[in-house]
Amino acid sequence: MNFFLKLFKLLPPELAHSISLNSLKLLYKIKILGLFYSKTNKDENILFCGMHFKNRLGTAAGLDKNGDYIDALGELGFGFLEVGTVTPLAQSGNLKPRVFRNYNENSLVNRLGFNNKGVDYLVKNLKTRKYQGVLGVNIGANKNSVGDERIKDYLICLEKVYKYADYITINISSPNTPNLRDLQNNENLSILINAIDKNIKELDIHIPIFLKISPDETDVTISNIISHVDNSSFSGIIATNTTIDKSMILNEKIKLIEGGLSGEPLMYKSTHCLSYIRSKSKDMHLIGVGGVLSKEDFNDKIDAGAGLVQIYTGFIIKGPNLINEVLGN
């Protein structure tokens, strides 16, 4: 695996991402994945939000946007997977280049912009998956949707995926869709959550719904978010998405790139947000994500209040061996 990681680092980021996941899928299909990677079989039988997990480590949304690699990723030892972000209509995302690696600081900057093949494509993959573990679906709004159309986008996706998901994440925190983060503001969030609550009742949905938030909000905004979630049908919060704050990195060139920063520099900020939420709500179901590149980072998220932890950039940088590193005794 180390040889392949070195090879992929020589390729453009999105090409490397595609080739690596398609290679993983091929190895899974021809049943020789075990020759290249020995997965952990650790089964802790975790109960979280009414769902059973074999362990607390999962993939964050963005790694498998369209659900093309569910079965292959499921063979690596994760306790759960989250696919998406998916939107009602297919969209190409922002112009390339839009992913920038900063290996010296174990980080990435992306401005992908919810590039995906649309919710109907994802649903086809959800229906045909063999993976039996917990699977979450992350949903968002199309770039060209404005005003009430954005609310409708979430309702469309919710209605189409809920029968095939174990939980759903409402993503209102990507920095790469113009004005999407405005949905975290008090009035806008109230309108969104009320609309989703109404849809949940009408469709008789009984799976957990999570809200994914930004690490860049003030304590006042986060407190308002907590209050809205506590008084809704939502089950919890995923903290956090990427940050637009690049003050913690040294690479001056990367600092000037527009987009969301992920990886090691995000660890402190995202974990602080997690801790703040836990301090304000002792019973909130929390999933921690952002900057996990080691077992110590994983444990820090748990200590901060997370019941589950997700990885993405760490997986890109370190490969599948990070799973065994985190879950090892």
Structure tokens at 85: 């972000």
Please check the confidence at residue 1 and state whether its pLDDT lies above 60: no
- pLDDT of the residue at 38: 73
214 tagged catalytic: no
> Between 315 and 40, whose confidence is greater?
315
Task: Tell me the pLDDT tens digit for each residue of 144-184.
Answer: 999 899 999 999 999 999 999 999 999 999 999 999 999 99
User: Considering the domain boundaries, does residue 290 fall inside one?
Assistant: yes
Query: Of all helices (H) and strands (E), which one includes residue 80?
Result: strand 80-86
Task: Tell me the pLDDT tens digit for each residue of 191-245.
Answer: 999 999 999 999 999 999 999 999 999 999 999 999 999 999 999 999 999 999 9
**What confidence tier does 2 reach under pLDDT thresholds 50, 70, 90?**
low
Note the pTM of the prediction, 2 decimals. 0.95
Please check the confidence at residue 114 and state whether its pLDDT lies above 60: yes
Please check the confidence at residue 185 and state whether its pLDDT lies above 70: yes
The CATH number of residue 136's host domain is: 3.20.20.70
Cα separations in angstroms, 4 against 10, 77, 147, 279: 10, 19, 45, 42
**What confidence tier does 91 reach under pLDDT thresholds 50, 70, 90?**
very high
Say how many CA atoms lie within 13 Å of 59 toward its Cβ.
Answer: 31
Q: Do 231 and 282 touch, CB atoms closer than 8 A?
A: no
User: Considering the domain boundaries, does residue 12 fall inside one?
Assistant: no
Rounded-to-integer distance, Cα 108 and Cα 261, Å:
6
User: Considering the domain boundaries, does residue 4 fall inside one?
Assistant: no
- Report residue 19: phi and psi, to 5°: -65, -40
What value does the mean pLDDT of the chain take? 94
Number of domains in the chain: 1
Active-site option among 107, 145, 174, 262:
174
User: Considering the domain boundaries, does residue 161 fall inside one?
Assistant: yes
User: Considering the domain boundaries, does residue 101 fall inside one?
Assistant: yes
Closest CA to 311 of 294, 285, 292, 296: 292
- pLDDT of the residue at 290: 97
Task: Tell me the pLDDT tens digit for each residue of 255-305.
Answer: 999 999 999 999 999 999 999 999 999 999 999 999 999 999 999 999 999
**Across residues 96-113, what is the average pLDDT?**
95
What percentage of residues in the chain have a pLDDT greater than 90?
90
**Across residues 67-84, what is the average pLDDT?**
96
Task: Tell me the pLDDT tens digit for each residue of 3-56.
Answer: 566 676 778 888 999 999 999 999 999 998 887 777 777 778 999 999 999 999
Structure tokens at 161: 């995926």
Rounded-to-integer distance, Cα 315 and Cα 131, Å:
20
295 lies in which domain range? 40-327
Q: CA quadruple 317, 322, 326, 327: dihedral positive or negative?
A: positive
Structure tokens at 27: 């190895």
What does the DSSP assignment read for 214-280? -TTS-HHHHHHHHHHHHTSS--EEEE---BS--TT---HHHHTS-SEEEEGGGHHHHHHHHHHHHHH
Rounded-to-integer distance, Cα 70 and Cα 6, Å:
24
Question: Is the omega angle on the peptide bond into residue 97 within 30 degrees of 0, that is, cis?
Answer: yes
Q: CA quadruple 127, 36, 103, 297: dihedral positive or negative?
A: positive
User: Considering the domain boundaries, does residue 15 fall inside one?
Assistant: no
Sort 233 into a burial class: Cβ within 10 Å, 0-12 / 13-18 / 19+: middle
Structure tokens at 187: 């009035």
